[in-house]
A and B are shown apart, each in its own frame.
Chain A
């Protein structure tokens, strides 16, 4: 391992010279816990992005189902998660539902079965998944009917046509809205702070309570979150450009 101590010490000198206290660089303990918080955040974001896209794809399939009950349940799920605050949903999952999911461990204490990170992942995936279902539905409806009928004429079953013909075409159309929603999801993961998931905002709170460097930590947080969102926007932009057909306006 290369010795980074001179690099970290520059920040110690910065504190001595200007009073800008960035202990996350020169203090090993703060550095370790901030990096852990950063990776927890990134894990939560990645998990939620993947899970919400999967929920979106499955939900868009259920929305096209012939069974009325399935369609109505999907509509109810979407309306519920779109018109209620994600923070209150999170509290509902963690406190209300979590209070029923307890097991007694060998010491005799009641411990929760599902951790706060898992509840945050579940709640945020369901929340973003509800928006994704609508986004994919709009994309699927923009696929020309003739294409769907052609797939049917070629002997594709409904499921096969959905996977091989409709979904790929729908992705191209839904990419801008999906991009928007994934950015919102990345920003919304900060609410996991409220149920003590040790993600970046929570760890930063702990650090500034110890070191009393609120403004420095807030600035660092702002920069890192803007960078993370920028990465998501860049990756989605690359995908969008790769899938673009010039002059194709469905």
Chain B
């Protein structure tokens, strides 16, 4: 992993040596860093929101996947398969183009800016994936737990709430964190539908500076931002997986 740090540093050195112009490449990158930081903050905010909304909805959908009533189970299965198998960009387009730009509730007008619709578009596949996680985790709980709960005269809802789901949380955490990393890495898709986030701003910076030798450094810079954010998540996921190993 030391090699990774070396690679990142060598990337910067290579960028600096690329052009001998008066405003150096590193200085330009530093100049635009506050703007990129704002854009990246929007990316992170969108990922948090999409993950939160998607997790709540996914929990509900996951419980629908293990329902005793067959129509509920079938509908949940169809919804899960549909949103898992649809490309994220197509879902984003769908939400951004077909949701209204403002909603009138009672007397108040709630504006729906682009980033809010993109967040909703990202929350849909999160919902489907979390539902699958919940279903897998619940089905991996040994049958003895269900039988013991039944022996204690707990209703199905009580069993789920008091016995099964608390045990599921541990199993679900590593793949859930993995899903979060995937969502973070998916937020630049919103730049295609017109949200002003880090990817769009990088493009704006490049077009405003107008220097071709900035192309490689700026894109590598943006890639490094995402790498620095996602790599610790990936390591933490691996460590948690090892700790929560259910043999």
Contact = CB atoms under 8 A, between A and B. Distances in A.
Given A82-B234, A225-B85, A89 B90 contact: no
Contacts of A214: 97-98
Given A225-B86, A226-B82, A226-B86, A95 B226 contact: no
Interface residues of B, number: 39
Contacts of A100: 216
Contact of A183 (B85, B220, B227): B85
Interface stretch (B21-29, B110-118, B184-192): B184-192
Interface string B93-133: 11001100000000000000000000000000000000000
Which of A83, A89, A183 has the largest count of B CB atoms less than 10 A from its CB? A83
Interface string B49-93: 000000000000000000000000000000001100111111001
A69 to B, nearest CB: 9
Contacts of A194: 192
B189 A80 contact: no
Interface string A87-100: 11101100111011
- Chain A residues touching B, majority SS: helix
A72 interface: yes
A84 interface: yes
Interface in B122-151: none
- Chain B residues touching A, majority SS: helix
B86 A95 contact: no
B90 A190 contact: yes
Contact of A85 (B82, B185, B203): B185
Nearest to A98: B215
A73 B3 CA distance: 8
Interface residues of A, number: 41
A218 B227 contact: no
B195 interface: no
B222 interface: yes
B89 A193 contact: yes
B86 A96 contact: no
Contact of A87 (B7, B199, B234): B199
B75 to A, nearest CB: 16
Given A83-B185, A87-B199, A91-B199, A96 B219 contact: yes
Which of B215, B222, B234 has the largest count of A CB atoms less than 10 A from its CB? B215
B90 A201 contact: yes
A89 B216 CA distance: 11
A187 B189 CA distance: 13
A225 B226 contact: no
A99 B212 contact: yes
Contacts of B219: 88, 91-92, 95-96
A83 B181 contact: yes
Interface string A204-224: 000000000011001001100
Contacts of A99: 212, 215-216
Nearest to B83: A226
A226 B85 contact: yes
Interface of A: 72-73, 75-76, 79-80, 82-89, 91-92, 95-97, 99-100, 183, 186-191, 193-194, 201, 214-215, 218, 221-222, 225-226, 229-230, 233
7 contacts: A88-B199, A88-B223, A187-B85, A187-B86, A187-B87, A221-B90, A229-B85
* Nearest 6 CB-CB pairings of A with B: A83-B230, A229-B85, A187-B87, A92-B219, A96-B215, A190-B87
Given A73-B3, A76-B4, A218-B90, 5 more contacts: A84-B223, A88-B188, A187-B85, A222-B94, A229-B86
Interface of B: 1, 3-4, 7, 81-82, 85-90, 93-94, 97-98, 181, 185-189, 191-192, 199, 203, 212, 215-216, 218-220, 222-223, 226-227, 230-231, 234
